[in-house]
Chains A and B, each alone.
Chain A
């Protein structure tokens, strides 16, 4: 566990760089996190990220790709285009929630 400064805010991150405190997240922090992995956030990204946060808050677990598709209505192919190669992990990283734990 370490404290890092992101977008002018002190936030807690784990060994890999994922945020550990849900409430330390802001949209500016998200933009910085996205920039760290080469993603510039568009409205389509925000729709997915907001769902990640809302769903985590409601269920206490990060949603899987399938869940983002079925519940937020974002096609799986689009998720792979927005967050290339590893959408579930990348969405979780930018949304400031843990990596999804479910297998499917």
Chain B
């Protein structure tokens, strides 16, 4: 005997009628290549789930929205004891990261690995997230501290907020500090 559902059949719940919209806010405070990705990847997942998503860039995280640096973020293994490529027999002595050329080499290695996963580079990722509906906010104090002007920042930046404004904006949001 075959079981057959009567219409209406099982329909996935896409949350279209969900009461109480979910909201998430990431704070990006780091300017290293490896520390730029976590929030962007999670933001991508949040936006794909229809969650209202904000990213607040502060301190070294400003490098992610600075036109001069957004395409030049770097990865160093200096001070990173977790640098042990799976196929290598030994951990990379982290102190070697201080030698000339090592940061460029490590950056290239990481970029190649990320590209192999079909994950975009940072500038393309920023545009993608913004097109998906993310809002990008620059920290007022960091803007002042680094003598940045609005034209120094990528076009996707929606505005400059002070901390009070960010607190207002992130009311009832889940806040994740990176």
Contacts and interface: CB of A to CB of B under 8 A. Distances in A.
Main secondary structure of the interface of A (DSSP, over half): mixed
A58 to B, nearest CB: 15
Main secondary structure of the interface of B (DSSP, over half): loop
Contacts of A10: 4
A60 interface: no
Contacts, number: 84
A93 interface: yes
Interface of A: 2-6, 10, 13, 15-18, 36-38, 65-67, 69, 75-77, 80, 84-90, 93, 102-104
B11 A36 contact: yes
Interface in B1-24: 2-5, 7-16
Given A2-B3, A4-B4, A10-B4, A89 B12 contact: yes
A5 B120 CA distance: 40
A88 B117 CA distance: 18
A80 B14 contact: no
B3 A85 contact: no
A104 B41 contact: yes
A16 B14 contact: no
Contacts of A18: 12
B44 interface: yes
A76 B14 contact: no
Contacts of B14: 37, 85-86, 89-90
A37 B9 contact: no
A37 B9 CA distance: 12
